[in-house]
Amino acid sequence: MKPVSSGTSASRLSVSIVTYKPDRQQFAEVLRSLNKAIGVLQALQPFSVTLTIIDNGNDVAAINELVSLVPAASCNVIVTEKNLGYGRAHNLAILNATSKYHLIMNPDVIMDENALFAGLEFLEHNHQVAGLSPEATNGMGNSLYLCKKFPSVVDLGLRGFAPGFLKRRFNTRLAAYENQAMVEKGESTAVDLISGCFMLCRTEALQKAGAFNGAFFLYFEDFALSLELKKHGTLIYLPSCKIVHFGGDAGKKGFRHVIYFVNSAIKFFRLYGWKLV
C-alpha cells in the first residue's frame, strides 16, 4: 500500500454518526470496527481523526460510555434537545468541520479494517472526486447496491413496497436502477447517487454543497446531497472500500417509516424534477 499524503492539519479526517436509540451491542461493534480502521490508517501514515456522535435519542450516558471504544480518535458527543432527523443532525458536525475529508456514517455499518485507508488513498490521488461510496454486503454476506440512478416513481414503488413476485417480474428494471452490473463487475465507476449510510467526501465539497437539506427529516436527504455534491466533483463507487450494512428497507419498518419515505420522495421530486416511469 502507498501511504496517503501528510498527516498535517489539512489532512485530518472527521467522522459523524447520528444515533437514535441504537442497538447497544451492534453499535459497540460498529465503533470497534471504526477504531480498527483508524488504527490501520494511522499505522500507515500519521492522520488525525475526530469522531462526532450526534444523539437524537437523549441517551447521553450510554453514548458517552461507548465512545471509549474509539481511543484512536478524538471524540465529541452532541445531544440534541429533540430529534432533528438524520441530515440536520449530521450538519452539526459537517458545517463546523475543519478537516480535509469527512465521513458520514450510519450506526449500523461495520467497516473493513482497510476501508478508511482505501478510501482516503483514492481521494488523495483523484482530486476531481467529491465523494465515494463503498462496496457493501448485508449481514448474510449478500451484495447491497448502494449507488443508484436517478429514480422514477415506479422504481421507488417497486423497490420499496412491491411483493416479491412483482419485483421478480421487473428484475431487469430494478437491476439497472441499482447498478447491479457495475457492482458485479467490481470496478471503480462514476455514479449518480450514493447512499447516506457511508459517504466519504471532501469536506470542502460537502460544505459548498450546503451539507444536507434540512427539509428532509428521514430518507432521500442522501439523494439530494448527491446531486448537490456533483456540482463540485464526481461521485465514485469504490469496491476496494468495503463495509457491512445492517439497515435499510423502509417498507419493513412500520407505517411511520412508510409515511416518512413517501413525504421525502415527494419533496425530492419537487426539488429535482418528477420522473414517473
In a domain, 104, yes or no: yes
Which residue's entry shows cell 417498507? 251
pLDDT digits (tens, 9 = 90+) for 36-57: 999 999 999 888 999 999 999 9
In a domain, 1, yes or no: no
CATH value at residue 129: 3.90.550.10
Query: DSSP label at 107?
Result: T
Q: Which three cell numbers stand for residue 37?
A: 480502521
In a domain, 266, yes or no: yes
Q: How confident is the model at residue 5 (pLDDT cuts 50, 70, 90)?
A: very low
Q: Which three cell numbers stand for residue 170?
A: 421487473
Examine the pLDDT at 249 and tell me if it is beyond 90: no
Count how many domains the chain has.
1
The pTM of this model reads 0.94
pLDDT digits (tens, 9 = 90+) for 134-167: 999 999 999 999 999 999 999 999 998 899 999 9
Q: How confident is the model at residue 248 (pLDDT cuts 50, 70, 90)?
A: low
Q: In angstroms, rounded to a whole number, what is the distance separating the alpha carbons of residues 147 and 213?
A: 19
Q: Which domain holds residue 171?
A: 9-272
Q: What burial class does residue 78 get, using C-beta atoms within 10 Å of its C-beta: 0-12 exposed, 13-18 middle, 19+ buried?
A: middle
In a domain, 233, yes or no: yes
Examine the pLDDT at 16 and tell me if it is beyond 50: yes
Q: Which three cell numbers stand for residue 68?
A: 471509549
Q: In angstroms, rounded to a whole number, what is the distance separating the alpha carbons of residues 206 and 228?
A: 9
In a domain, 116, yes or no: yes
Mean pLDDT of the chain: 93
Q: To 10 degrees, what angle do helices 221-229 and 255-272 make?
A: 30
Count of beta carbons in the 10 Å neighbourhood of residue 217: 17
Query: DSSP label at 43?
Result: H
